[in-house]
């Protein structure tokens, strides 16, 4: 191991992610034969096959799976050692990995991405949907940062106080739920109150790894419940169905304001008393002093425009 080439660890990391020599070679900008030779060296070093060939590609051995979490930690530490103390965005080719809730894209990307592209023409941003595993990936530093929804209402299980202490965050904006219904919906001829809200069936969108909304938690405390006829994970499709049915759709107000002009929908206030929640930018404290990471964080925070932009940080 005294002569070990630590570049081989990058190869192992990509092979674990891609489960394919061909795909790994493409990502690493190497030939397949070069990756195969490096895999042979890795097998010799760790005295294990590491991967078995199957009809669907490579399958990691138990030893390779055991190495994976340690590998990520070692590579993160190497990154910290080798990363320059000065960051020049105009020359950087860094790829940032983000996880975001669906409704945050339209509230953030149009505002920070133009500045990013102008300042850092070679930097790339790889964003995936926030899900059940996203917080764990943040805690393991497998992604750089995330934009997700957190609640200020103490009745919610995803309250701000429940954010793990290892994670830093800055609140970008506050938001509240609203109701969307089609033009000509019969409830528009009725008094709009909780009884009317519960009288009709609902169309529910679950996103961000959350299977129910804060308003459902609040209703449950009153022993009340919405009648959800349909549950899906895509707001655009939900709005399209909403304008063609008598279903009520609840959506975050700021996201709905961006989208509602594309549909024949009316917006109503939710007749349930809830405290507005917030969209937050989160990252692991491991990245606090990383100059490139700090540059992107500040770019997002300074450029995201919102009617309720806040500067509360932790």
Concatenating the DSSP letter of every residue in 102-130 gives GGGHHHHHHHHHHHHHHH-TT-EEEEEE-
Taking residue 48's Cβ as centre, other Cβ atoms within 10 Å add up to 15
Say if pTM beats, i.e. exceeds, 0.85. no
Provide the residue ranges of all domains of the chain, joining segments of one domain with +: 7-82, 95-174+277-303, 177-269
What is the rounded CA–CA span in Å between residue 51 and residue 40? 10
Series of mean pLDDT values for 10-residue runs along the chain (314 residues): 72 88 87 91 91 88 87 72 76 93 90 95 94 88 91 83 91 92 96 96 85 85 94 93 96 90 94 91 90 94 65 42
Same topology, domains 7-82 and 177-269? Answer is: no
Q: What is the second-level CATH architecture of the domain 7-82? A: Orthogonal Bundle (1.10)
Q: What is the pLDDT of residue 85?
A: 65
**Residue 160 CA to chain centroid, in angstroms?**
17
In the CATH hierarchy, which top-level class contains the domain 95-174+277-303?
alpha beta
Kind and range of the H or E run holding 135: helix 134-139
The pLDDT assigned to 310 comes to: 44
CA nearest 32: which of 18, 19, 21?
21
Strand locations in the chain, DSSP E? Answer: 51-54, 57-60, 95-100, 124-129, 145-150, 167-175, 177-182, 202-205, 228-232, 248-252, 265-269, 277-284
57 bridge partner residues: 54
- Name every residue whose Cβ is closer than 8 Å to that of residue 199 and which is 6 or more positions away in sequence: 187
Contact indicator for 194, 268 with CB cutoff of 8 Å: no
pLDDT at 3: 66
Fold of 177-269: D-Maltodextrin-Binding Protein; domain 2 (3.40.190)
């Amino acid at each position: 191991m005294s002569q070990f080439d630590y570049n081989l660890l990058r190869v192992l990391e990509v092979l674990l992610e891609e489960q394919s020599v061909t795909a790994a070679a493409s990502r690493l900008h190497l030939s397949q034969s070069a990756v195969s030779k490096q895999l042979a060296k890795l097998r010799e070093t760790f005295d294990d096959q590491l991967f078995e060939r199957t009809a669907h590609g490579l399958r990691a051995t138990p030893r390779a799976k055991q190495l994976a979490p340690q590998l990520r930690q070692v590579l993160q530490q190497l990154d910290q050692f080798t990363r320059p103390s000065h960051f020049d965005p105009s020359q950087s080719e860094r790829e940032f990995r983000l996880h975001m809730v669906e409704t945050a894209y339209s509230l953030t990307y149009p505002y920070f991405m133009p500045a990013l592209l102008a300042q850092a023409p070679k930097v790339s941003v790889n964003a995936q949907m926030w899900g059940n595993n996203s917080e764990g990936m943040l805690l393991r530093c497998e992604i750089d940062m995330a934009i997700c929804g957190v609640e200020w209402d103490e009745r919610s299980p995803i309250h701000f106080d429940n954010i793990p202490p290892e994670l830093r965050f800055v609140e970008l904006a506050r938001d509240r739920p609203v109701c969307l219904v089609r033009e000509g919906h019969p409830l528009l001829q009725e008094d709009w109150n909780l009884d009317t809200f519960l009288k009709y069936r609902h169309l529910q969108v679950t996103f961000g790894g959350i299977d129910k909304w804060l308003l459902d938690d609040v209703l449950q405390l009153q022993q009340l419940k919405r009648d959800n006829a349909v549950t899906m994970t895509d707001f655009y499709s939900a709005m399209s169905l909403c304008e063609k049915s008598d279903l009520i759709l609840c959506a975050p107000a700021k996201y709905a304001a961006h989208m509602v002009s594309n549909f024949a929908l009316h917006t109503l206030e939710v007749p349930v008393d809830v405290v507005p929640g917030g969209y937050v930018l989160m990252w692991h404290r491991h990245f606090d002093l990383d100059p490139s990471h700090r540059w992107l964080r500040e770019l997002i925070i300074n450029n995201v425009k919102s009617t309720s932009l806040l500067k509360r940080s932790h």
